[in-house]
């Protein structure tokens, strides 16, 4: 039996670092709000698709370095925020938050990371809630 959650509930139980940015991405790219019951906590494979090619920025490099040592000590890192769905050259997930964690895990050879995954109109998940005509009218 699948229990769906909302992003609001997940954020309350385990605060996400850039929640504002995640909400923006969800609204702009997926027409969905934090109230859509499409979320599941999963352990996702660390694949090459979300890897930042160019970690040119010094801060980025430092952040990844800190996360790598956290992973090595088996410390809990905040969950990634992903949207499930096949995209032509990006694999099975789109990343809304956590690219530094993803890079660190990749460099450490970690196989899976905890993530919040949205199934919007896939895997039995609901359609985008901002498409609802009643909401659109108001």
Q: Which of 22, 83, 84, 95 binds Zn ion (CB under 5 A)?
A: 84
Stretch that binds Zn ion, among 25-33, 45-53, 55-63, 117-125 (CB under 5 A): 117-125
**Closer CB to Zn ion, 85 or 98, in the complex:** 85
Helices (H), the chain: 7-13, 19-30, 58-72, 99-108, 133-137
- The DSSP symbol for 129 reads G
- The number of residues making up the chain comes to 138
- Touching Zn ion, residues 3-62 (CB under 5 A): none
Q: How far apart are CA 18 and CA 47, in angstroms?
A: 22
**Closer CB to Zn ion, 29 or 122, in the complex:** 122
Q: How far is the CB of 56 from Zn ion (least distance, A)?
A: 33
Edge-to-edge, what's the strand order for the sheet holding 112-118? Answer: 39-45, 112-118, 80-87, 91-97
Measured between its terminal Cα atoms, the distance across the chain in Å is 35
Size of site (CB under 5 A) for Zn ion: 4
Token code pair at residue 72: 């090595």
Q: How far is the CB of 127 from Zn ion (least distance, A)?
A: 12
The verdict on 122 binding Zn ion (CB under 5 A) reads yes
Q: Which of 43, 123, 126, 135 binds Zn ion (CB under 5 A)?
A: 123
Residues that bind Zn ion (CB under 5 A): 84, 119, 122-123
């Amino acid at each position: 039996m699948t229990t769906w959650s909302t992003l609001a509930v997940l954020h309350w139980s385990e605060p996400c670092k850039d929640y504002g940015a995640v909400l923006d991405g969800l609204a702009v790219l997926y027409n969905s709000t934090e109230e859509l019951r499409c979320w599941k906590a999963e352990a996702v494979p660390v694949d090459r698709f979300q890897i930042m090619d160019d970690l040119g920025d010094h801060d980025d490099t430092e952040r990844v370095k800190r996360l790598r040592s956290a992973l090595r000590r088996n410390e809990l890192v905040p969950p990634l925020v992903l949207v499930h769905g096949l995209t032509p050259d990006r694999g099975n997930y789109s990343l809304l938050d956590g690219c530094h964690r993803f890079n660190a895990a990749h460099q450490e050879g970690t196989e899976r990371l905890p993530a919040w995954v949205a199934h919007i109109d896939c895997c039995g998940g609901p359609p985008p809630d901002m498409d609802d005509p009643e909401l659109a009218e108001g």
